[in-house]
Amino acid sequence: MMKEQDKKYLLDSIRAIKDFPKKGIIFRDITTLLNNKNAFAFLMDHLVEKYQNKELDYIVGIESRGFIFGAALSARLKLPFVPIRKPGKLPFKCIQESYSLEYGTDSIEIHTDAFNDSKNAKVLLIDDLIATGGTAIAAIRLIEKLNAKCIEACFLLELKDLDGAKELAKLTSVYSILEV
């Protein structure tokens, strides 16, 4: 677990923008954390320490900010990185999973050979933020359709009021570094 002063350090490195993208929303802009070499290195060191002995086979990142953390972590842990993207963005044969939004539905995709046809690959799912959990739940369904197992879902930020982590915890272990 991360100490409270370390959490405060990371949270202070993330810019909060009021009324974006619409009135009443406080947008958490992680670009300021990424632009702070010490804060980003601190975060990645924490993730390496947490996951280096988990016997993972793959790191999966959700488009687009999950790519940043996932690719950096996979390089540090010397593990393959797998992207989950919006439809039409991956060039090879894909499977797709849809999920509900406040006003409609959306979908995400993964390559059918993402885990090199291995059975029971152990996967860490990573993204910057969990809100309602719809995207992460769809990502876990994709992982499972390819006969892999999501060992844990990791998020930099959890929006506590939206209960997404609680819903996701029905499918896998959830680790949120910061809660807002």
Q: How far apart are the first and last CA of the chain?
A: 17
Q: What are phi and psi for residue 65, nearest 5 degrees? A: -70, -25
User: 179 an active-site residue?
Assistant: no
Whether the CB-CB separation of 84 and 60 falls below 8 Å is answered with: yes
Region of residue 19 (phi > 0: left; psi between -120 and 50: alpha; otherwise: beta): left
* CB neighbour list of residue 37: distance below 8 Å, 6 or more residues apart: none
CA distance 150 to 102: 26
The catalytically annotated residue of 4, 28, 63, 65 is: 65
Q: Is 160 helix (H, G, I), strand (E, B) or coil?
A: helix
Catalytic residue among 4, 28, 49, 102: 102
Cα–Cα distance for residue pair 39/90, rounded to 1 Å = 31
- Check if 97 is active-site: no
Catalytic residues: 65, 102
